[in-house]
Structures are given as structure tokens and as C-alpha cells.
């Protein structure tokens, strides 16, 4: 296992650059070791393919997760929390990124739509879903954060999901929702700029201007990936390069958010992602980091 990342800021005040794990990553890291500071690995992948942990012999690992159902009415099971905690220990991750969404729902509330494959168990939706952004959801998030506080052993970073529609029951914007959660607890943030860009297109706001309403001082990690336009809707796409506007937002966040520790390129939906494009994307991110460092000094 390589050296773990530390929670503190790097000595030169510059954010680190990492890659989300894909089958091409081990060889890429071997051939371009100086370009990659860490590898972000999903907890769910490690549960089913423990050999992925071998990347830790070359680079530090940052653990990501989509199983804790942070914003749901059904809390994560003790078994899931213990499994996440074990992989936190094994990867020596400095923090855990988790979606500000839910994956579990009440079987009773699902009614006739509840599946019978696991009687007595919560209904697993199968993917992360953004909750209605209101006081009830804030209370649910705070309960789950309190439940996990101390249980994980590392800081928890909440990641903003992409919004593709306005959920019924929503009474506030996503930025207001996130800011209020941060006001009421000491949780940190994983700012997915591509998700934020998609949300801006769905909800019709200026993303660069709206960034100012987020608590950027809580941002520890940033995600960057691609966007696809289908049927007039912008969708998350980890197999295409980030729009220029996402990189422009990254520069704004780096200049404003002095606590940013890491920028992760999430190009992990295609094992054939072009190497030349990946090298260009790493260069673009490092240029943005260098420019922000110069601007602060």
C-alpha cells in the first residue's frame, strides 16, 4: 500500500490531482506516475473486486461511496456501515465522499412497487436519488450524519447530486439546501462541478454566479467529468471530457475555496477513454490549480 494522503493542505498550498478508478488506470499510473497524485476507488467496487486494492501499492487511495443513503428516511444498516469502515481502514483513505442522496426507501411506502426479493429489508432503488430539498430532508441528513459521526473514523464529504427535475416537495434551491446543512453541522463537501453544471441547466441559473451562495470554505474535494446532451437534457457522462465552463468554475472554486485538497477526474465509464485526451484533461486541471495559486499570491 502506498503512502496515504493526509487531511491537511499540501505544503505548497496546491490541490492534488487524482483519477477515478477504471481498468486503464493501473497502467496509466505506471506510465505517468508523476501526473497522478492519488486514485479514487468506489467502495462498491472493492466489495466485489477486492483486487482493485492493489492500486494502493502505487498511489494513495481516496474512498468514494454510494451506499450510505445519507438523505434517505431509511438509515444505512449496521452491516453496511461496518463494511464501509473496514474499507476505510484498509485503504487508509483521508476522507469518505458520499452522495447527498438516498438509495434506500421504506418498503411500506413503496406499496405495490416494492420488490419481494428480500422480504423485510428496505427497498433498494439501485441508484442514488436526490431528495426533495426541504426541512424534512435536512433533518434526515442531519440524523444520518450524526449516526455516522465517529463511526467512520475519517471526515465525511457530502457530494451534490445532479438535478434532472424539481422533486415534488422541494421548497429551496440546492445551494440553499447544502448551505443550511453546513450551517447546522460540521460536515465537509465534495463539490461535483459537472453535477452543478447539469443542475444549472435544469433549473435555469448561472452556475458561476450561484457558486457564491455555496459554503466553498467547506469544499475538500472537487469532481470533474463530462456532460452529454440528449433530448434537450444535460446528463452526467464520465466517458467524455468536461465542458470549458466546468474548468472555468474549477478556477473560481480554487481561488475562493482555500481548503480544496484534491481534484478528481471522473473519466471512468469507458475502458477505452483516449489517453491523449486524459493527458490533456490532467494538464487543464493542473493549469487551473497553478493559476489559482498564483492569484492567491
* CATH number, position 216: 3.20.20.150
Angle (deg, nearest 10), helices 174-184 and 135-148: 40
In a domain, 7, yes or no: no
Q: Give 39: exposed, middle or buried? Use CB within 10 Å, 0-12, 13-18, 19+.
A: buried
**pLDDT value, residue 114:** 54
The pLDDT profile of the chain, 297 residues, written as one tens digit per residue, is 667 887 555 555 589 999 999 999 999 999 999 999 999 999 999 999 999 999 999 999 999 999 999 998 888 999 999 999 999 999 999 999 999 997 765 555 555 655 554 455 555 656 677 899 999 999 999 999 999 999 999 999 999 999 988 889 999 999 999 999 999 999 999 999 999 999 999 999 999 999 999 999 999 999 999 988 777 878 788 889 999 999 999 999 998 867 899 999 999 989 899 999 999 999 999 999 998 877 766
d(CA 139, CA 271): 40
Residue 125 and residue 113 in contact, taking contact as beta carbons nearer than 8 Å: no
Domain that holds residue 275: 16-296
**Per the structure block, which three cell numbers stand in for 43?**
467502495
d(CA 84, CA 281): 30
Give how many domains the chain has, as a whole number. Answer: 1
In a domain, 9, yes or no: no
**Per the structure block, which three cell numbers stand in for 258?**
482555500
Reference 7, options 93, 68, 129; nearest CA is 93
In a domain, 204, yes or no: yes
**Per the structure block, which three cell numbers stand in for 208?**
458561476
**pLDDT value, residue 235:** 76
**pLDDT value, residue 118:** 47
Amino acid at each position: 500500500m502506498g503512502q496515504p494522503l493526509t487531511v491537511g493542505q499540501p505544503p505548497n498550498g496546491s490541490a492534488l490531482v487524482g483519477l477515478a478508478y477504471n481498468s486503464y488506470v493501473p497502467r496509466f499510473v505506471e506510465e505517468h506516475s508523476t501526473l497522478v497524485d492519488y486514485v479514487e476507488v468506489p467502495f462498491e467496487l472493492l466489495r466485489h473486486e477486492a483486487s482493485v486494492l492493489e492500486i494502493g501499492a502505487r498511489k494513495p487511495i481516496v474512498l468514494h461511496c454510494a451506499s450510505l443513503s445519507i438523505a434517505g428516511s431509511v438509515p444505512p444498516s449496521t452491516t453496511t456501515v461496518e463494511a464501509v469502515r473496514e474499507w476505510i481502514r484498509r485503504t487508509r483513505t483521508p476522507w469518505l465522499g458520499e452522495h447527498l442522496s438516498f438509495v434506500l426507501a421504506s418498503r411500506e411506502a413503496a406499496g405495490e412497487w416494492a420488490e419481494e426479493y428480500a422480504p423485510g429489508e428496505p427497498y433498494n432503488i439501485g441508484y442514488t436519488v436526490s431528495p426533495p430539498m426541504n426541512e424534512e430532508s435536512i433533518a434526515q441528513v442531519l440524523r444520518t450524519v450524526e449516526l455516522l459521526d465517529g463511526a467512520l473514523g475519517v471526515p465525511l464529504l457530502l457530494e451534490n447530486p445532479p438535478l434532472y427535475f424539481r422533486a415534488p416537495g422541494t421548497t429551496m434551491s440546492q445551494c440553499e439546501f447544502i448551505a443550511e446543512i453546513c450551517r447546522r453541522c460540521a460536515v465537509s463537501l465534495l463539490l461535483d462541478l459537472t453535477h452543478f453544471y447539469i443542475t444549472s441547466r435544469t433549473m435555469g441559473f448561472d452556475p458561476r454566479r450561484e457558486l457564491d451562495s455555496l459554503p466553498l470554505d467547506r469544499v475538500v474535494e472537487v469532481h470533474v467529468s463530462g456532460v452529454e446532451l440528449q433530448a434537450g437534457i444535460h446528463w452526467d457522462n464520465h466517458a467524455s471530457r468536461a465542458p470549458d465552463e466546468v474548468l472555468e468554475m474549477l478556477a473560481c472554486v480554487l481561488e475562493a475555496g482555500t481548503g480544496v485538497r484534491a481534484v478528481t477526474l471522473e473519466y471512468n465509464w469507458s475502458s477505452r477513454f483516449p489517453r491523449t485526451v486524459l493527458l490533456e484533461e490532467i494538464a487543464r486541471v493542473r493549469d487551473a490549480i497553478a493559476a489559482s495559486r498564483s492569484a492567491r499570491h
